[in-house]
Amino acid sequence: LLAFARRQIRDPQVISLNDLLADMDRMLRRLIREDITLVIAPAPELWPTRADVGQIEQVIVNLVVNARDAMPDGGRLTIETRNVTLDEEFARTHPSVIPGPYVMVAVSDNGVGMDAQTMQHLFEPFFTTKPPGAGTGLGLATCYGIVKQHGGTIWAYSEVGCGSTFMFYLPRAEGEPTQLRRGEEAGELPRGSERILLVEDDQLVRDMAARVLRGQGYTVLVAARGEEALQMAADPESPPVDLLLTDVVMPRLGGRALAEQLMAHYPGMKVLYTSGYTDTAIVHHGQLEEGLSFLHKPFTPAALIRKVRETLDS
């Protein structure tokens, strides 16, 4: 947990979390399924906070994806903001909290909920309740690290069969909030017409990525496993692929080995790797060489679109 808490804040600025959620609204609705109702409830006159926009987006996306996965039969997902003053009495029962004014974001679902034993390990790296291949167990540990580095705190409340609420608190800041760019709403995200081979063993990620990229004009071929992608490439009538978008860690045939074999079929192909592990961890364990195109999961649709275009143009 201490290692995750040492994440560097790259670009801090005074922002309104209400503005950030409004900016993310359309993207968040793409992340969830049609059987889930998303409600965003911003508090009036919300205090500003000083934060790295990209990192707080990552926290919100992680919490929304977790809430989505906790409602396999659909449900209601609520994101609300609030001004909160944490007092001395509260700090005594929560030792990591410094008393003072905070801005709170709460992400709630009415899904399956968690028992007390699960709650004790929530923010531990590599702890996950998801089946093999469906999660790395790094999402909530990443949230913990980002929030702590911002001087805030995060915790959860849950009941089995009733759902869960994750709350994170960031310190109040002085000054006027920076006007956030609404690039996605303004249609500023780059488009393309290239052919992309998407290889991803997580169906929810695979479906979301394919839908987003097709919406930007790309032709997307989809495979759930590396072997399936190789079978597609072996077809003599298969048209050339401009970009391979692949998870690094997959059963039997990993992303790096897959890319090397596909290069024989598509010599000019670019490659973009994704993983729930950080790029540093992937390089350290010999899965990838430093400097290759890499996108950390969970990614937002906007981040995916920009990274795909950047890789194709490199």
Is the predicted pLDDT of residue 119 greater than 90, yes or no? Answer: no
Question: 116 φ, ψ to 5°?
Answer: -65, -35
Question: What are residue 195's DSSP bridge partners?
Answer: 219
The 3-state secondary structure of the chain, one letter per residue: CCCHHHCCCCCEEEECHHHHHHHHHHHHHHHCCCCEEEEEECCCCCCCEEEEHHHHHHHHHHHHHHHHHCCCCCEEEEEEEEEEEECHHHHHHCCCCCCEEEEEEEEEECCCCCCHHHHHCCCCCCCCCCCCCCCCCCHHHHHHHHHHHCCCEEEEEEECCCEEEEEEEEEECCCCCCCCCCCCCCCCCCCCCCEEEEECCCHHHHHHHHHHHHHCCCEEEEECCHHHHHHHHHCCCCCCCCEEEEECCCCCCCHHHHHHHHCCCCCCCEEEEEECCCHHHHHHCCCCCCCCCEEECCCCHHHHHHHHHHHHHC
Euclidean distance between CA atoms 28 and 181, whole angstroms: 17
Please give the model's pTM, rounded to 2 decimal places. Answer: 0.64
| Residue-level pLDDT at 26 | 83
Per-residue pLDDT tens digits for 166-207 = 999 999 999 999 887 654 444 578 899 999 999 988 776 787
In the chain, what are the domains? 4-171 (3.30.565.10), 195-313 (3.40.50.2300)
Asked if 307 contacts 293 with a C-beta cutoff of 8 angstroms, the reply is yes
**Percent of the chain at pLDDT above 70?**
83
Is the predicted pLDDT of residue 1 greater than 50, yes or no? Answer: no
Asked if 312 contacts 270 with a C-beta cutoff of 8 angstroms, the reply is yes
112 vs 119, residue with greater confidence: 112
| Residue-level pLDDT at 8 | 52
82 vs 140, residue with greater confidence: 82
Average pLDDT rounded to a whole number, residues 141-162? 88
Euclidean distance between CA atoms 6 and 251, whole angstroms: 31
Is the predicted pLDDT of residue 149 greater than 80, yes or no? Answer: yes
Rounded to a whole number of angstroms, the distance between the first and last alpha carbons of the chain is: 36
**Percent of the chain at pLDDT above 90?**
39
Confidence at 2, pLDDT banded by 50, 70, 90:
very low
Per-residue pLDDT tens digits for 260-300 = 999 888 999 999 998 776 544 444 344 555 567 888 876 77
| Residue-level pLDDT at 287 | 53
| Residue-level pLDDT at 283 | 46
Mean pLDDT in the chain? Answer: 83
| Residue-level pLDDT at 31 | 81
Is the predicted pLDDT of residue 165 greater than 80, yes or no? Answer: yes
Average pLDDT rounded to a whole number, residues 94-118? 89
